[in-house]
Every structure is written in structure tokens, then in C-alpha cells.
Amino acid sequence: MGSVTRIVLQRLGLGLLTLFIVSIVIFTAVNMLPGDFAEAILGQGATPQAVAAIRHDLGLDQPPVSRYLEWLADAVRGDLGTSFAQANFASFVGSDAGAGMASVADTLVPRFRNTMFLAGVTAAIAVPVSLIIGVLAALYRNSVFDKVANMATLTSISSPEFFLAYILILFLAVLNPWLPSLSNIYDGMGFGERLEKTMLPALTLTLVVTAHMMRMTRAAIINLLASPYIEMARLKGLSPMRVIVRHALPNALAPIINVVALNLAYLITGVVVVEVVFVYPGIGQLFVDSVKIRDIPVVQACCLIFASAYILLNLLADILSILSNPRLRHPK
């Protein structure tokens, strides 16, 4: 266990270093966005004095390095700053700009909860379906089922999310009004109604992530079917399904875990397009709205959450791969 603990600590250190580098990229990219928040709020009739006053009150006139270090220190303490867009802008000129400022965390928490609900529904559908189809495709390799599954997954992978979303809206909400086309989620909504309004964007994401997980499951199992211990299991008279489920699948867990973790990370970081199409009140929709109005603290917080989720799930995939594979636990 000493070697495993050392490897896990190394992965944690690399994850923190990666997150630090990503935070620099996020801050630099967000602050390079064209436009100015003060000018966007005051409009075309803004005077230079009013713009300068707002920029001073918001700290936008400080050197970039100072603003980055202050933002990073606050983020480490769990303080993501205050949202510009939720402020009482009438109080900016000639009064305290801090009055009326809303916490970024207060803005993000309900949106992040909605995004996690969407990701959870999608994962509950996509993971078991992809594993079952992948196992069956490997079991009946080169059959009609295998060819149809591969053709369907290739089509799904090749289609952008917004195209799949509009196709599902056409068939499941317009031609056959089974599901609502807009996801009007709000606090206090019952679980059944929330699930119904989330189902269409969840199905869209399922079509995208299932393809990758199914193909990786199929490839990993087929790669192991030529192994000597698989041949021995067949010679003992075990059924093909038992050989795959009991012998091939456990040894193929490492690559499957990696692709599942990557797709779960995509469910959190790649929901922006889907949430915009369905007007789903998640963190992706908030991110797009905040970019439009140059709400820098919210944009930085959203990007940091996306990066943290991606790095954390990749780190979790590495650790689970190490624990599930004796060759990785004992590299000698």
C-alpha cells in the first residue's frame, strides 16, 4: 500500500499544479475578453468619469497581477467574489459600490445543483446502457447487432450536440408531444416534474456520451478475448457470456473507468450548448449569460468549477485504475 499511497499523492500534487496553471489561463483569458463591464452597464452615453468611477469601485483599475493574486487567495478560502450583474448600479456613482453586491457563490449554488441533477440523470441512463451494449457488441462481434451498434454510435459521435438536441425536440416534443421542449426548472419543483423537464436534455447528452463509453467497453473486452486465460476459460466449457462478464470485464476495468470518468467530466463541463438550447437553468446557461454582460467574477468562477470538475474526475479515474489493476499497483 505504500507504493499505492505514493502514486496517489503524486497524482494529487499534479492535479493541484494543473489547477494552478489552469487558474492563470482562466484569469488571463477572461480579462482579455473584448468590451468593458462598466461601459456595457452605462451604455453609449457613459462619461469617462462615470466609467472610471465604476472601474475603481470594482477594482478593475488595479494591475492584473494584483487582481489575480487577490482572486486566487479568495478562491482558496472559498470566496469566489461578488457578482457585478447582481449589483445595485444606481449606487455606484457617489455612494458605496459594495451595497447591493451579490455573492458569486449564492448565484452559482442553485445553478450548479441543477447541472449536477442533469448530469446525474444522464449518468444513470448512459453508464449502464453503454456497458450493456458494449458487452453485447463484444459478445456478438461482427454480427448484425454489432454493426448496427457501431453505426449508431459513429453517427452519434459525429453529430454536434445542438443538432441532436433539435432532432430530439422535433420528434419528442413537436411531432410527438411526449416531453417538454423547454426545461423550466425552479426551486421547490417536485422530483417527478423536475425529472420530466430534464429528460430531453438528459437524452441529448446520453446520445453523446454513450457512444464513447460503449466503443471503449467493446474494444477493451475484444482486446482481452485473445488472452491465454480467456482461452483456458473457454476450454473449460464456460459460456461466452460468463467468460466475458466474469473474466474479461474485470480485467478491462482500467480503460473503461477512464472513459467513464472522462465522459462524466464532460457532463459537467460540456453541458453549455445543451443548456442553452433547452434554456436549462444550469451553470452552463449562467456562464453564457455572464459572458454576454462581462460579469468577470461569475465567468471566472464558472471556468474554475469546470476545470476543477474535469481535473478531479480525471484524478479519480487514475486512482481507480491503479486500484483495479495489479500491474499498476506494483509497477515493478
Provide the residue count of the chain.
Answer: 332
Same domain, 142 and 233: yes
Instruction: Give the per-residue pLDDT at 201.
Output: 92
CA distance 217 to 212: 9
230: domain CATH number? 1.10.3720.10
Q: Which residues pair with 103 in a beta bridge?
A: 82
Integer CA distances (angstroms), 82 to 28, 54, 67, 301, in order: 19, 14, 14, 10
Residue in the structure block whose three cell numbers are 447541472: 115
Same domain, 158 and 249: yes
Q: Which residues pair with 102 in a beta bridge?
A: 83
Instruction: Give the per-residue pLDDT at 41.
Output: 65
Judge whether 299 and 202 are in contact, CB under 8 Å.
no
Q: Write out the residue range of the structural domain in which residue 19 sits.
A: 1-100+293-332
Check residue 36 and report its DSSP letter. -
- Classified as helix, coil or strand, 46 is coil
Instruction: Give the per-residue pLDDT at 89.
Output: 47
Same domain, 81 and 180: no
- Please give the angle made by the CA atoms of 92, 98 and 99, to the nearest 5 degrees: 80
Check residue 172 and report its DSSP letter. I
Mark the ranges of the chain whose per-residue pLDDT is less than 70: 1-4, 35-46, 85-102, 324-332
Instruction: Give the per-residue pLDDT at 21.
Output: 92
Q: 180: closest CA among 201, 160, 164?
A: 201
Same domain, 127 and 259: yes
Same domain, 196 and 54: no
Give 261-304 as a DSSP string: HHHHHHHHHS-HHHHHHTT--SHHHHHHHHHHTT-HHHHHHHHH
Instruction: Give the per-residue pLDDT at 42.
Output: 64
Same domain, 95 and 233: no
Q: Give φ, ψ of 85 to 5 degrees.
A: -70, -25
Same domain, 153 and 246: yes
Number of domains in the chain: 2
Residue in the structure block whose three cell numbers are 497524482: 11
Same domain, 211 and 157: yes
Integer CA distances (angstroms), 288 to 150, 273, 275, 283, 285, in order: 34, 9, 10, 9, 5
Judge whether 317 and 102 are in contact, CB under 8 Å.
no
Please give the biggest Cα pair distance in the chain: 86
CA distance 188 to 170: 29
Same domain, 80 and 199: no
Same domain, 174 and 284: yes
Same domain, 235 and 321: no
Same domain, 145 and 287: yes
Q: Which residues pair with 83 in a beta bridge?
A: 102
Instruction: Give the per-residue pLDDT at 92.
Output: 47
Angle between helices 144-158 and 104-139 (to 10 degrees): 150
Helices (H), 59-159: 64-76, 104-139, 144-158
**CB-hemisphere CA count at 13 Å for 314?**
15
CA 76 to chain centre: 21
Instruction: Give the per-residue pLDDT at 14.
Output: 87
Rg of the chain, C-alpha, whole Å: 24
- Classified as helix, coil or strand, 99 is coil
